[in-house]
Structure 1
């Protein structure tokens, strides 16, 4: 298979054998993990609106605030479990490896939703099952991108890593259509109406668990464990090249050099020592800041809340009836799924991370600003009553279209970036720990967002919520301009060069500096090596 998409400049130095079925099969299995999060985000919002679920569980009892709290408890329990799961992923990834960690998370994911579908009227069992499933789903955001970043050649690393981000919306799309199909084909009096869509989790987790036994461990993990011979064989199988090939030797040399450099600097350091290293070394603090802010700004930009509470938002904008709102969410699922993969395959490695993020945030912010203006001008009371003039009705159609357009911006911007940057920025020995902590923060923010949105809609009204999301988008644009570096075409091992720069140069000038360094290393004659090393030391001291 000679399928080439991605960074064309980097591909010129990449042999065609590297783009083979073994690479794409492994990336498919780990990439499809993203569907776990998407399935839950899409299914749970529809599940709590299905009449069969309301018949079995007393969601409508008590005051409006009590109902909102009960609803948010159910919807957010997977996020709460995912906080723990993201931290658990660090321990398992570093001890068991990426493939064994995949198998553990699939078992947790399966067990959790088996508990959910056998709950029979017990909200406590629903919460317990969703928490256990959340442990496995929380691990996916560390295990999936880590494997993808460690196995993908740099020419297509952005594309292949974003298979995971795109799979989130494959899951969302399947979830929306499952809820819609159940609402029109299954009786409101039968619990199978809400149970049937939930079995999608069991099917995905089981399929991925079976496929995991066909995969080998990543060469970079084997290098960390000191299994250099196994790492060499694994890399040769993955790249379909002999050990003597210069591409294999260069990649092995880069992995070992980075690991040796890290081990010399931190010999005998414990987990607590790694934590100190993360927060005491300036370069690692900058890495952590990138991961933290990507999660905070991305999760509070409004898109995650729209995905989970899509039925309610479309109801606010004038869609009435359960089937009508569920069908409208199906269209949103198709839009997000299509745009996520179009971005992954044709955008992120061509125009770069920064430009994709700029464009995505801009589109999302403008679209949500329109919705905020429409709801603010018309008013929620009039929208609820349905007493709209023809102009208002046309404006409502535009607002629904803008919800779809905001989904395009989200998949192009924050959704791709929050996984990709986390997988690319960390040095080898801190990759599992750094990914776990930042993705733990991802779920902390998503949990807080999921819990807060029902109360925010009561306290701020819908227009206030959308206005808040716009403000976050503007802050995000400023942050990206100043702090986010471009990593397209840069090998993972050479990101150390970028983060060794002063903090105020990393975002604006780091990419050019690193590419110049890589190019200089490739063309320098051996007799000039000592002179060049002295120049680099002098440069680093000067900057």
Structure 2
């Protein structure tokens, strides 16, 4: 199961009841992770598809000026991000009113419709299909991590939530290799070539829609909407433990305590009330700023430029031939996948989110800095007679190092952190805003990248390097470690100023659970013990009498 390896290496997971790591949780993880697949396929296949002669012929990209070609490429690629920004915002009300489960189903259907439209060889229909598909991708990118975080045991919450990102990387890698495979087909294969590469994203979309009806609604959503008994029943069903088990009771009491606190302090679920809670309560605002900045720096690493335009970037550093650039792109995807598996299975719930993110971002920034300096001082072109130069080969290696750093850093951390830190009452709205920022920045970068590469050249990579180094400084001072903390305990953590989080980055044992929950339980146990001792004393006294 996703994160399954963490069960054996995570100290917290070893002390948990073994029943909570069960097939029901595995089924839930697989179902929600299909959303990561259609996100990854769409991201990974479009860059390669744009280089296919059959696609260029079908959509009239063969004989047009370079500036027009750059604009069309940018528009085709960025339409998913444009739809994604709208979908991320629209996912919040559907998540709160329809529930997490049926929202995922609804937006999955919308994605399938958009993916089907992309199979039609018409430029305007293609743009419409990519926008509609982007609505589903953007909404699911918010809903799936939220659903996974709310449903998973806290000892493996990082691994479970990151399984969504693992499937993004897996499908990204598969899309790269599908593009390479169809590029080897005969030139007379026609539209079948690009339609095969484009249509593969329909598979995970359909599978998710077929399996999501069999997944239970999250207990946090149910309890927050006045269905406490149903919420407790869901916890018992998902954990495979009875209602009176201490593990179930602590999880249930934490959620109940958080909901009671919110209901006592704040009235109503209207969006005006929720927005006031976000911006007027200091701890909530700090959480939103942290999550938004993580997504901004996540995009400023330049990953979208590499994902969408990897073949062109490999050609820029001297890789010859379309097949060769697609092959190197495929290897780039493999490096990402292997590293992400290692991160999800081992790092995220053993080492945590913070340290891998800092190290990974430093590797990414340095890789971008090398590419900038190489292109500045040793310019090369893809049609150099002698093949790729030694400096270009080193550049390829640095791109793979970039993929390595990305996969246990920015690839996953922002998704996991955003899903963990917000209270249930405001989680949907805050995550929707975070993912809106994510997608709108994605749109700007992917739309501008072809023009930026043509106009700026090496300056693009220098810009990404400097922005990523800046992000490392922010992460060091402002990002605390989330590993081992319950979602409800974040309230206590963010009472402190954001810029002092580095001083409190790693929690004590008491800080892993919401303040008062364990204390109350211990007091109850002590009172019961005193009562029992008193009863025994009375019985002994009567017997002696």
**TM > 0.5 fold call:** yes
TM-superposition CA deviations, 1:438-479 (whole Å, max 9, x none): 011100110011012112112211x21111111011101100
Question: Are 1:9 and 1:489, in contact at CA under 8 Å, matched by a contact in 2?
Answer: no
1:139: Cα distance to partner?
1.0
> Which of 459, 462, 468 pairs up with 1:467?
462
TM-superposition CA deviations, 1:50-91 (whole Å, max 9, x none): 000111112244432222111100000011001111111111
Aligned to 2:30: 28
State how far apart, in whole Å, the 2-side matches of 1:56 and 1:4 are.
46
TM-superposition CA deviations, 1:362-386 (whole Å, max 9, x none): 111222222222222211xx33451
Aligned to 2:236: 236
> Which of 347, 356, 381 pairs up with 1:383?
381
**Structure 1 pair 109–519 and aligned structure 2 pair: CA distance change class (3 A):** closer
Aligned to 2:543: none
Aligned to 2:93: 91
State how far apart, in whole Å, the 2-side matches of 1:487 and 1:30 are.
22
1:276: Cα distance to partner?
2.0
TM-score by length of 1: 0.92
1:211: Cα distance to partner?
1.5
1:498 aligns with 2:493: yes
1:307: Cα distance to partner?
0.9
- Counterpart of 1:349 in 2: which secondary structure? coil
Question: Are 1:112 and 1:129, in contact at CA under 8 Å, matched by a contact in 2?
Answer: yes
Aligned to 1:526: 523
**Structure 1 pair 448–508 and aligned structure 2 pair: CA distance change class (3 A):** farther
State how far apart, in whole Å, the 2-side matches of 1:430 and 1:372 are.
42
State how far apart, in whole Å, the 2-side matches of 1:368 and 1:291 are.
24
Aligned to 2:443: 447
Aligned to 1:537: none
- Counterpart of 2:51 in 1: which secondary structure? coil
State how far apart, in whole Å, the 1-side matches of 2:58 and 2:229 are.
57
TM-superposition CA deviations, 1:83-141 (whole Å, max 9, x none): 11111111111111122112111111111111110x23x21100001111111111111
TM-score by length of 2: 0.91
1:422 aligns with 2:418: yes
State how far apart, in whole Å, the 1-side matches of 2:511 and 2:489 are.
11
**Structure 1 pair 269–244 and aligned structure 2 pair: CA distance change class (3 A):** closer
Moved more, 50-59 or 363-372: 363-372
State how far apart, in whole Å, the 2-side matches of 1:116 and 1:32 are.
19
1:12: Cα distance to partner?
4.8
State how far apart, in whole Å, the 1-side matches of 2:50 and 2:136 are.
22
Aligned to 1:107: 109
Question: Are 1:102 and 1:212, in contact at CA under 8 Å, matched by a contact in 2?
Answer: yes
State how far apart, in whole Å, the 2-side matches of 1:353 and 1:436 are.
21
Aligned to 2:267: 267
TM-superposition CA deviations, 1:257-300 (whole Å, max 9, x none): 10111122211252122112212211111111112111111111
1:220: Cα distance to partner?
1.1
Moved more, 307-316 or 512-521: 512-521
1:186: Cα distance to partner?
4.8
**Structure 1 pair 470–215 and aligned structure 2 pair: CA distance change class (3 A):** same
Question: Are 1:295 and 1:445, in contact at CA under 8 Å, matched by a contact in 2?
Answer: no
State how far apart, in whole Å, the 1-side matches of 2:217 and 2:426 are.
18
Question: Are 1:497 and 1:514, in contact at CA under 8 Å, matched by a contact in 2?
Answer: no
- Counterpart of 1:485 in 2: which secondary structure? coil
Structure 2 unaligned blocks of 5 or more:
527-545
Aligned to 2:541: none
1:258 aligns with 2:258: yes
**Structure 1 pair 527–348 and aligned structure 2 pair: CA distance change class (3 A):** closer
Question: Are 1:481 and 1:508, in contact at CA under 8 Å, matched by a contact in 2?
Answer: no
Moved more, 66-75 or 184-193: 184-193
Question: Are 2:479 and 2:505, in contact at CA under 8 Å, matched by a contact in 1?
Answer: no
TM-superposition CA deviations, 1:500-539 (whole Å, max 9, x none): 123333343153367447498647853999xxxxxxxxxx
Aligned to 1:283: 283
Question: Are 1:498 and 1:510, in contact at CA under 8 Å, matched by a contact in 2?
Answer: no
